[in-house]
Amino acid sequence: MVGIVIVSHSKQLALGVQELAAQMVQGNVRLAVAAGIEDADNPLGTDPIQVYEAIASVFSGDGVLVLMDLGSALMSAEMALEFLSEAQRQQVHLCEAPLVEGAIAAVVAAAAGRNIQQVIAEARGALVAKAIQLGVVSSQLSVGSSETTTHTEYPTREIRLTVSNRLGLHARPAAQFVATVTRFQSQIRVRNLTRNTEAIRGDSINQVAILGVLQGHELVITAAGADADEALAALQALFTTNFGEDNTSYEPLQAVDHKVTPAIGGELLGIAASPGVAIAPVVHYQPPIITITEYHVDDPELEWQRLHRAICTAKQEIQTLFSQASIQIGDAEAAIFDAHLLFLEDPVLLEAAHQRILDCHLNAEAAWQAVVNEVAASYHTLEDSYLQERVDDVVDVGQRVLRLLVGNTHSELHLSEPAIVVANDLTPSDTAGLDPKKVLGICTTSGSATSHSAIIARTLGIPAVLGVDAEVLHLEDGTLMALDGESGKAWVQPEPDILDLLEAKREAWQTAQQEARATAHQPAITRDGRQVSIFANIGSIADVQVAVANGAEGVGLLRTEFLYFERATAPTEEEQFTVYQAIAQVLARRPLIIRTLDIGGDKPLPYLKLGIPEANPFLGWRGIRLCLDRPELFKTQLRAILRASAGHNIKVMLPMIATVAEVRAAKEILSEVKAELRQAAIPFDRAIAVGIMIEVPSAVAIADRLAAEVDFFSIGTNDLSQYVMAGDRTNPRVATLVDALHPAVLRMVQQTVQAARTAGIWVGLCGELAADPLATPILVGLGLNELSVNPQAIPLLKQAIAQLSLAEAEAIAASVLQQDSATDVRALVQNLISS
């Protein structure tokens, strides 16, 4: 991405321009300031060294644009170029564009991914809109637009592939396909031969989806460009491995005709979408209706910028939702939201919206709604009902952007008491946000068993009956309802005999669950006697109660960030102490590992004023790095943890450790806090154990040195995977690289375990990998002492370990380390388990 530097005599002016420009693109552009001089009496001026440092801070191969105000600012910028190499100077462009308007136009163009020449053109033309509005120039002036790169000098390559995925190219494999395409420069087009479609762009999630690709369909994929062969090879690999999915035949859940039988004696027939019985009062959920008005705009480029800002904010919301859903329902189902992100990056859709705004002078809301409706209509024309249902995701994402454009606040369902939610429909985003402890059931008048909302409901364990008669929408809140998600029936104010039957069925199900939980309270021991401790990852007091009920032997990761979010100031020592002590009391002497604050970078807190958004937040000022730089913040948390440790089995865990020096510095601060507590005669566990997260490759490389400093390791495979594979796990274009079952990541785990074993300390693993059934024999075989997972995964994990022998697990672990890819690892383990 193009970097931008603002050079001004006035630091205050430059920072104001920087703030304004950053807000235009939600901080998603590398933007630096070189302004003023270090002279309290005469602060106005420019410094070439400052300019050079600013250029260096945003420099990339995409180029740097420098905008300046008057006089010596230009001279300082020219002098700064002398400090650069000849090759670097070729990438830096001094621009005569107006400082304020030029900066705003430039950051918007850079955020849209335009090249340096296009960014310069936008900056130079920044005054045109103002001139048109004032009547100084004609509105017929053309607006610069990006051109599609052609590859006529390269021959077109072609491959033909047959789709073997049981559901065809549904949302998740389609997202993988598009993410792979966008890694290459070549133009890639796809035809569905079976349906005899026209060729479409491979970088458009919607065009790929509406090809209507089902199992057995033959595709023709063409590529033209310098890396065409590599692109086609990468795509072929996706098809060969079934996009990481199994290839079993698809057995759809029971689907009742949408022409449902009207209510008879309070009984409603619908679609069985998620099994289970729910009996509770009704609560209606109706998201706010977004009403838009179409109108003419005089400044279409400014209107496009407004839409772009809303899309950027929507992406941030979906990324947050993806992170939350990963914790609650697991990475596999949360991958649904990868497709949502790609929808917002679909070049065909964005170009269509841009064209409507520029050519028709439409307001952003009207243009966006029009293109979303067109895409939704395209999905409706598909013959396959499963692919038709993907329109729900299109509408979900489209409504999210519209809500941001019109300024509506996000509507969430807050229940004071457990209830059955009744609605016309629930979007995937709505469903992912439901609390299974409060939402006992779902009853809607539309939807299907194969919709993403239904999939999420099943994962959350919420019974659901969909497609019932619309009269349920007229029920008063508080009306008693019962539903059976297995039979697809619901009852309004059920008769006593119906209630008795349903209560019996619910009790039988609960008894089975209780038996499973009872077994889960036994230790996880392999057939030949190797015990593995099974802990829980939690992020609240409520989570620890669920964890204990599911058989957790302790908490392997308490994410303390929940105490810091959604508030105006940092939590006090007393607030933190109260929460830590409450969680420890629920655990009743079971171990509680508290990870110190892991914010910054990709998880900013406004009240900490962390400064300019970072270009690479996962590699930035976060975790232990931030805490060491903010010792008072760090010491407040450590005091609360130490105080809570009195009489409890609490351990401290430091995140994002990359060096031995960081561990020693943190331990020094911990020692200071201990001394203060001793002096104040405040009790605490003086022998409290200190461990570190192993999630940075450097920590693996020096694990032997780090082991001498701490009492335990805990491997965080979520972050370790993205660092090992050099892929941002929140970026759908490279997220497919981030796979904890890749042999490169598993070898990192092996190396860490060996270092810990040599040093005589124990080592656990608290990433999502621990909850993957295919990973269980590998992790046991690698010698992990402890596995920490989401509470719901504990019973199955213990059951899987009990069915293993250590010798089998070690043989599997040795074999997978010799594989070439995560796909090979999965196939090998699957074959070994099934045989």
Q: State the catalytic residues.
A: 452, 766
Rounded Cα–Cα distance for residues 210 and 814 (Å): 43
488 Rama class: left (phi>0) / alpha (psi -120 to 50) / beta = left
Identify the CA nearest to 186 among candidates 244, 146, 234, 144.
Answer: 234
Cα dihedral 773→776→777→783 (10° resolution): 170
State the Cα angle at 554 between 550 and 559, rounded to 5°.
95
* Phi, psi torsion values for 141, nearest 5 degrees: -60, 140
| Three-state SS letters, 42-80 | CCCCCCHHHHHHHHHHHCCCCCEEEEECCCHHHHHHHHH
Helix (H) or strand (E) segment spanning residue 558: strand 555-559
Rounded Cα–Cα distance for residues 811 and 205 (Å): 41
Q: How far is CA 348 from CA 203, 236, 396, 624, in A?
A: 8, 24, 18, 42
CB atoms within 10 A of CB 183: 14
| Residue 419 contacts residue 280 (beta carbons within 8 Å) | yes
State the Cα angle at 826 between 181 and 334, rounded to 5°.
60
Q: How far is CA 360 from CA 143, 352, 367, 504, in A?
A: 13, 11, 9, 63
Q: Which residue has the tokens 């349920």?
A: 472
Rounded Cα–Cα distance for residues 103 and 13 (Å): 12
Is beta strand 200-201 parallel, antiparallel or unpaired with respect to 690-694? unpaired
CB atoms within 10 A of CB 565: 9
Task: Look up residue 284 and give its amino acid.
Answer: H
45 Rama class: left (phi>0) / alpha (psi -120 to 50) / beta = left
| Residue 277 contacts residue 482 (beta carbons within 8 Å) | yes
